[in-house]
Amino acid sequence: MIKKTWKILLIFSISLLFTFLYFKNTSSCGWDWEGDYYYSIFNEDIINQPSLEPFLLSDYLYHPYKDSSFFDEKKINLKEWKNYFGNIVEINDIEKVLYPTKKAELVELKHAILTHNDSLINKKWQNNALVKFWIKNKSDHSLDYFIYAKEIEPLVEGYYWEILKRDTSLMLSLIDEGVKRFKEVNDDFLKLRYAFQAISLYK
Return the higher-pLDDT residue of 69 and 117.
117
pLDDT in tens, 31-86: 555 544 555 566 666 767 767 666 665 555 544 444 444 557 888 899 999 999 99
Q: What's the confidence (pLDDT) of residue 74?
A: 87
Lowest mean pLDDT among 122-126, 140-144, 174-178: 122-126
Are the C-beta atoms of 166 and 155 separated by less than 8 Å?
yes
pTM score, two decimals?
Answer: 0.68
pLDDT in tens, 80-107: 999 999 999 999 999 999 999 999 999 9
Query: At what angle are helices 118-125 and 129-136 packed, to 10 degrees?
Result: 150
In eight-state DSSP terms, residue 88 is: -
Q: What's the confidence (pLDDT) of residue 1?
A: 56
Q: Is the dihedral of CA 87, 90, 93, 98 positive or negative?
A: positive
Q: Is the dihedral of CA 35, 37, 41, 42 positive or negative?
A: negative
Q: What's the confidence (pLDDT) of residue 64?
A: 45
Q: Is the pLDDT of residue 160 over 70?
A: no
Nearest CA to 155 among 142, 133, 170, 145?
Answer: 170
Mean pLDDT, the chain, integer: 79
Share of the chain above pLDDT 70, in %: 63
Lowest mean pLDDT among 31-45, 147-161, 181-195: 31-45
The domain limits of the chain are 2-56, 73-200
Q: What's the confidence (pLDDT) of residue 156?
A: 83
